[in-house]
Structure 1
Amino acid sequence: MTSARTAQMTYVDPPPARLRVVPVPRYEPEALESGSGVREPLVSPPRQPVAPPRPEAVNIEIRQFATGAVKLVLEVMDRRRPIGQLGRVALPHISDQFRVLLAAGSATRSPASSTLLRLHSQSSRPDAAEVTVVYRRGDRVHAMGARVEKRLITMPAAVPAAPRRKQWRWMLVAVTVE
Structure 2
Amino acid sequence: MHAMQYEFTLPADYDMGAVRGRVARVGHLLDDWEGLGAKAYLIRERGVHGSPVNQYAPFYLWDTMAGMNSFLWGGPFQKPCGDFGRPSVRQWTGLAYEEGGAAGSPARVAVRRRQLVPDGVELAAVMGDAVREAGRLAAEDGAVLAAAVVDSSRWEVVHVSLWARDEPKADGEVFQVLHLSAPGLSALPRGRQW
- Shorter chain as denominator, the TM-score bin is under 0.3
Work out which structure has the larger RCO, using CA pairs closer than 8 Å and 6 or more positions apart in sequence.
2
TM-score under structure 1 length normalisation:
0.26
More strand by share: 2
**Bigger radius of gyration, 1 or 2?**
1
